[in-house]
């Protein structure tokens, strides 16, 4: 929910800006521009942060720039992009340097936030613990612990969540907003653990405090808790609180909370009002998904433009140096040869400029076509699906529980569309593969590879490369979320025009009732489209082994 992110954003901004005061750090004009635009124009802020990360020579400033980019990506719903930026930020930081610790705190806290949003609760808890390691402020500690409590209760481990809330609630009494947040969260978890627990007095106390403090984000959470609490016992009261949550989430301009409130209203309202709420839900869900897809694409374009600008500048510098050397040599031979040489340079320059313009135009056309393809995909699969559900609501008197199941399934389907985006061929594909695998390697989960050399990828069809990156990413995500592995090995080999990829880990392996979900189904489809094979080794005694064979031409 949006309010969880808002709390974590406080930690990130406070850690990355307030704690820097005791230790002077360098800055640059582009970084100052990005900071000043953070609250008014996030696209421009992202652009300037990216310029700093690409061009700066100061490792700490680069880490801070990646941290700022990650916060913007999280707010836009680009959680995987945010994690990538944060992992890049960590590579530029040294835990032993005091001036680096405020950014380490912010990076780990934001990684906890993105993991929470991606429902990877174990990772979220681990990152919050790492953030606490670098925090020297008690209020920040309490906020991080509160978020860790959220991760535990989302995971279903109510006892651990309750222990955390009880350990910090007494120290929050001087801060009424903070006290209300912890009190309300603890009451909800106690009630979830024991439905007979009388959570209402605590809920009402938190609500009174939030009204007195004019804490709209807190009121939004209180109304959600009370709607859930009254859902079975007093549906009319639950409906009233769901309506209040709906109103305040719209005032806060928080689409995620508005969608949650609409779900409650659809479940609790009379049949004649369900259609109205569902139409609003359909419109808002469509708009949120479209906005997030646009934001992800915009971030990718900004990355591309900044990298291209840097490459062009380096190339032009090199070309200018070569031209100056040639001109100096020609001046020694004579003015006639010098003039002829200048003429050749001018003609060459004009041809090169026209070629660059043509390539740029072709690149922009390709990007537009890719956007249109994604828009068509959203229309064909999501919009048509929503209209199908509307028809069932109108003509078949669809039960509310089944209606919400269909809505949730359609929402997951909309997220899966992002798996199908194509990417341009990287200059060094072996380095790209290394970067992907290293992003998932940690002290707890070692990822190693062999055979990933530049010579291996020579002659491999570009389509194979484009499809292989999301395949490997899906394997890594599943490994990190489900396997419990401590060691992962991936071997690449090319034999008889067949690209062979062998994956092995020492995790839990496949359960007896294993079924492929969206990610692995999409992965299998990609391999089939390449006329390849994607096989699980079901006879493996321990861990998981996967074999992939793909024709390279």
At 46-75, the pLDDT tens digits run 888 888 888 888 999 999 999 999 998 888
Instruction: With cut-offs at 50, 70 and 90, classify the pLDDT of residue 503.
Output: very high
Q: Which of 511 and 200 is assigned the larger pLDDT? A: 200
Q: Is the pLDDT of residue 253 over 50?
A: yes
Mean pLDDT of 494-522: 79
More confident site: 329 or 278: 278
- pLDDT of residue 304 exceeding 50: no
CA distance 237 to 235: 5
**Residue-wise pLDDT tens digits, 219-230:** 999 999 999 999
Q: Nearest-CA neighbor of 464 among 422, 428, 505?
A: 422
> Does pLDDT of 288 surpass 90?
no
Q: 10 Å Cβ neighbour count for 417?
A: 16
Per-residue confidence band for 331, with pLDDT thresholds at 50, 70 and 90: low
DSSP bridge partners of 549: 500, 533
What are the C-alpha distances in Å from 34 to residues 29, 110, 244? 9, 19, 36
The pLDDT of residue 384 is: 46
Return the pLDDT at 346.
85
Q: Residue 58 CB: number of other CB atoms within 10 A?
A: 16
Q: Which residue has the higher pLDDT, 397 or 347?
A: 347
421-434 pLDDT tens trace: 444 566 688 998 98
Distance CA(183)–CA(206), nearest Å, equals: 7
Domains and CATH numbers, the chain: 1-155 (1.25.40.10), 173-269 (1.25.40.10), 289-420 (no CATH), 429-551 (3.30.565.10)
Q: What is the mean pLDDT of residues 173-197?
A: 93
User: What pLDDT is attached to residue 376?
Assistant: 44
Worst-scoring range by mean pLDDT, 106-115, 162-171, 198-207, 513-522? 513-522
- Across the chain, mean pLDDT equals 80
What are the tokens at 484? 């419990």
Q: Is the pLDDT of residue 25 over 90?
A: no
pLDDT band at 363 (very low <50, low <70, confident <90, very high): low
Across residues 289-296, what is the average pLDDT? 65
The pLDDT value given to residue 354: 77
Q: Which ranges in 334-425 belong to alpha helices (H)? A: 335-377, 384-396, 400-416
Total length of the chain: 553
Out of 148-152, 339-343, 505-509, the most confident range is: 148-152
User: What confidence score (pLDDT) does residue 137 get?
Assistant: 82
> 545: which strand partners?
504
Question: Among the ranges 216-225, 422-431, 474-483, 506-515, which has the highest mean pLDDT value?
Answer: 216-225
The per-residue pLDDT for range 137-170, each reduced to its tens digit, is: 888 888 889 899 999 999 999 999 999 999 999 9
Q: What sign results for the dihedral spanned by CA atoms 94, 86, 423, 498?
A: positive
Position 540 scores a pLDDT of 57
- Cα-Cα-Cα-Cα dihedral sign, residues 400, 405, 410, 415: positive
Q: What is the pTM of this model?
A: 0.51
Q: Is the pLDDT of residue 539 over 80?
A: no
With contact defined as beta carbons under 8 Å apart, do 200 and 238 qualify?
no
Region 271-286: mean pLDDT is: 88
The β-bridge partners of 490 are: 449, 503
pLDDT at 417: 62
Q: What is the pLDDT of residue 121?
A: 93
Token reading at 536: 């699980």
Q: To which residue do tokens 């680009």 refer?
A: 78
Look at residue 379 in the predicted model and tell me its pLDDT: 42
Say if residue 290's pLDDT is above 80: no
Average pLDDT over residues 169-192: 93
Within 8 A by CB and 6+ apart from 116, the residues are: 4, 124, 147, 150, 151, 154
Which pLDDT score is estimated for 478?
Answer: 83
Q: Residue 118 pLDDT > 70, yes or no?
A: yes
Looking at 21-30, 67-76, 112-121, which range is the least confident one? 21-30
* Lowest-confidence pick of 49-53, 167-171, 185-189, 499-503: 49-53
- Beta bridge partners, 491, equal 450, 502
Residue 550 half-sphere exposure toward CB, CA atoms < 13 A:
28
| % pLDDT > 70, the chain | 74
Q: What residue has token string 């008889």? A: 496
Is the pLDDT higher at 470 or at 175?
A: 175
String of b and e for 284-295 (b: at least 16 CB within 10 Å)?
bbbebbeebbeb
User: What is the mean pLDDT of the segment spanning 29-40?
Assistant: 86
- When mean pLDDT is compared across 7-21, 51-65, 183-197, 220-234, the lowest value belongs to 7-21
Least confident of 248-252, 376-380, 453-457, 462-466: 376-380
């Amino acid at each position: 929910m949006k309010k969880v992110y808002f709390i974590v954003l406080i930690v990130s901004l406070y850690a990355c800006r307030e704690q820097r005061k005791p230790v002077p750090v360098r800055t640059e004009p582009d970084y100052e521009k990005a900071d000043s635009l953070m609250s008014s124009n996030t696209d421009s802020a992202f652009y300037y942060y990216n310029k700093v990360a690409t061009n700066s020579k100061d490792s700490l400033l680069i880490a801070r720039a990646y941290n700022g980019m990650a916060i913007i990506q999280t707010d836009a719903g680009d959680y995987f992009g945010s994690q990538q930026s944060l992992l890049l930020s960590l590579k530029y930081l040294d835990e032993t340097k005091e001036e680096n610790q405020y950014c380490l705190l912010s990076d780990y806290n934001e990684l906890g936030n993105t993991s929470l949003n991606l429902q990877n609760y174990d990772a979220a808890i681990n990152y919050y613990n790492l953030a606490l390691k670098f925090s020297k402020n008690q209020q920040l500690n309490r906020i991080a612990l509160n978020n860790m409590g959220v991760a535990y209760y989302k995971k279903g481990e109510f006892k651990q969540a309750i222990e955390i809330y009880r350990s910090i609630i007494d120290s929050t009494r001087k801060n009424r907003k903070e006290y209300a947040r912890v009190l309300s969260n603890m009451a909800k978890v106690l009630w979830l653990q024991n439905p007979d627990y009388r959570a209402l007095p605590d809920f009402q106390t938190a609500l009174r405090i939030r009204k007195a403090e004019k804490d709209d984000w807190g009121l939004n959470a209180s109304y959600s808790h009370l709607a859930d609490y009254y859902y079975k016992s007093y549906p009319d009261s639950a409906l009233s609180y769901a309506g209040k949550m709906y109103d305040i989430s719209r005032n806060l301009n928080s689409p995620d909370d508005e969608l949650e409130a609409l779900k409650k209203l659809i479940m609790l309202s009379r049949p004649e009002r369900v259609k109205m709420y569902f139409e609003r839900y359909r419109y808002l869900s469509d708009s949120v998904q479209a906005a997030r897809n646009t934001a992800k694409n915009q971030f990718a374009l900004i990355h591309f433009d900044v990298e291209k600008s840097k490459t062009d500048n380096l190339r032009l510098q090199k070309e200018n140096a070569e031209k100056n050397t040639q001109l100096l040599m020609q001046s020694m031979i004579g003015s006639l040869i010098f003039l002829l040489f200048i003429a050749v340079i001018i003609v060459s320059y004009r041809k090169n400029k026209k070629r660059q313009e043509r390539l740029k135009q072709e690149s922009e056309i390709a990007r537009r076509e890719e956007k249109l393809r994604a828009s068509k995909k959203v229309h064909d699969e999501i919009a048509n699906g929503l209209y199908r559900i509307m028809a069932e609501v109108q003509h078949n008197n669809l039960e509310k529980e089944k209606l919400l199941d269909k809505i949730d399934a359609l929402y997951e389907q909309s997220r899966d569309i992002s798996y199908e985006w194509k990417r341009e061929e990287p200059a060094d594909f072996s380095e790209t593969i290394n970067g992907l695998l290293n992003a998932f390697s940690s002290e707890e989960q070692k990822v190693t590879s062999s055979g990933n050399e530049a010579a291996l990828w020579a002659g491999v069809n570009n389509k194979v490369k484009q499809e292989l990156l999301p395949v490997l990413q899906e394997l890594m995500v599943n490994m990190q979320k489900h396997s419990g592995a401590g060691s992962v090995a991936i071997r690449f080999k090319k034999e008889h025009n067949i690209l062979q990829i062998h994956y092995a880990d020492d995790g839990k392996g496949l359960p007896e009732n294993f079924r492929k979900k969206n990610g692995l189904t999409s992965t299998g489809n990609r391999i089939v489209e390449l006329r390849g094979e994607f096989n699980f080794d079901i006879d493996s005694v321990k861990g998981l082994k996967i074999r992939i064979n793909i024709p390279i031409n």
